[in-house]
Amino acid sequence: MMESREIVRRAIEFDNPPRLPFWQHWNHKMPGFPDDVCNIWEMDRQQAGWFFDTAAPDDWGCGWNATEQHNMGQVTDCPLADWSALDSYGPPNPRNPFYYERLGPIIDEAGDRYVCLTAHSLLFSRYHKLRGFANTMMDFHLEPERTNRLLDLIADFKIAQCEELHRRFGGRIHGLFVTDDWGTQAGPFISNAMFDVFFRSRYARIFDAIHACGWHVILHSCGKINNLVSTFIDLGVDVLNMQQSRSYNLVEFGDRYRGQVCFLATVDIQSTMVQGNDLEIREEARLLVKHWSTPTGGLIVFDYGDWPALGVSPEAPLIMFDEFAKMATSARATHLGNQTRLGGSR
């Protein structure tokens, strides 16, 4: 039997996986379904106290408050809200043993699963936590020099963090899951031209550093980021975690980008899953397989995990996983059958 890590690798690299891989949430497992990924969130734990269940300050100096709905909370105190603090500001030490000392034993327990480390707030998200969101939107127009300086500081931290991870763990890690939420419900927060000015080269540096370690780049980004997908593919993203499939125009989006990048996909977390209709959840799962994957791979089934925070019933994720599981071994045959009827192949 093929190891889970190899099934995931094949899906990401379009190398003919024998079935759909399943990425379960790190602390909310659903028994009875494949569990192919050991996803480790400990990289986010902050020495100053913050973690996803603790709304304390983080090591960047950001102050967090809990939200009414139990979730990760939100930043309410931005240490660089006033630019006058920049000259004396420094990021955390990316080689601080605190960030790494818990990882080894968890990796040891991964068995034959694909090992992925999650580190949120990659670049844009960390920037607006430091400056505040309104300030951030103005900075691109009013403060380009300081904006570049702060973005370089963040990028340098991330690259040094990759280097330290590789020094300690090397090939025991297979992918790095990073996050930057770029979209509103209508489109990205900034134009592609402005994205290129401030972010393209820095993402390239970070993604190149991850690839230099021999790991896949797995990027999460919420919102309708259709206009940025081609850019992220060009920059070397291996896997895109996009959770609002209906917002992207599921069929058209998939037909445009499938085969160019692997998708870490779930049935839409803002509409279909919230409504909880059995037939609609199953139909969307089938559409994702049909339009977002290829005969050679390109799709990993994803569990959002914190479903109560979205108002999703306990039954809905089980329905979704059940439908994906039914298609897990038949997806390739279904694709090939469709192509044979169409008289061609991709």
Average pLDDT of the segment spanning 108-118: 97
Q: What is the pLDDT of residue 339?
A: 46
pLDDT-derived band at 346 (thresholds 50, 70, 90) equals very low
Average pLDDT of the segment spanning 202-220: 98
Average pLDDT of the segment spanning 260-270: 97
In whole angstroms, give the CA distance from residue 260 to residue 37.
22
Q: What is the pLDDT of residue 330?
A: 57
Average pLDDT of the segment spanning 109-113: 97
Give all domains of the chain, ordered by start, each with its CATH number: 4-342 (3.20.20.210)
Average pLDDT of the segment spanning 315-327: 95
Helices and strands, number each (H, E), in the chain: 13, 10
Whether 338 shows a pLDDT value over 80: the answer reads no
pLDDT in tens, 44-70: 999 999 998 888 999 999 999 987 767
Whether 120 shows a pLDDT value over 60: the answer reads yes
Q: What is the pLDDT of residue 331?
A: 52
Whether 328 shows a pLDDT value over 80: the answer reads no
pLDDT in tens, 153-198: 999 999 999 999 999 999 999 999 999 999 999 999 999 999 999 9
Average pLDDT of the segment spanning 27-52: 94
pLDDT in tens, 219-254: 999 999 999 999 999 999 999 999 999 999 999 999
Whether 290 shows a pLDDT value over 50: the answer reads yes
Average pLDDT of the segment spanning 17-40: 93
Q: What is the pLDDT of residue 335?
A: 55
pLDDT-derived band at 100 (thresholds 50, 70, 90) equals very high
Averaged confidence pLDDT in the chain = 93
**Residue type (1 letter), 290:** K
pLDDT-derived band at 341 (thresholds 50, 70, 90) equals very low
3-state SS of 177-215? EEECCCECCCCECCCHHHHHHHHHHHHHHHHHHHHHCCC
Residue 90 CB-density burial (10 A; 0-12 exposed, 13-18 middle, 19+ buried):
exposed
Average pLDDT of the segment spanning 120-129: 98
Its pTM stands at 0.94
Whose CA is closest to 21, among 30, 9, 13, 31? 9
CA angle 175, 178, 180 (to 5 degrees): 155
Average pLDDT of the segment spanning 138-161: 98
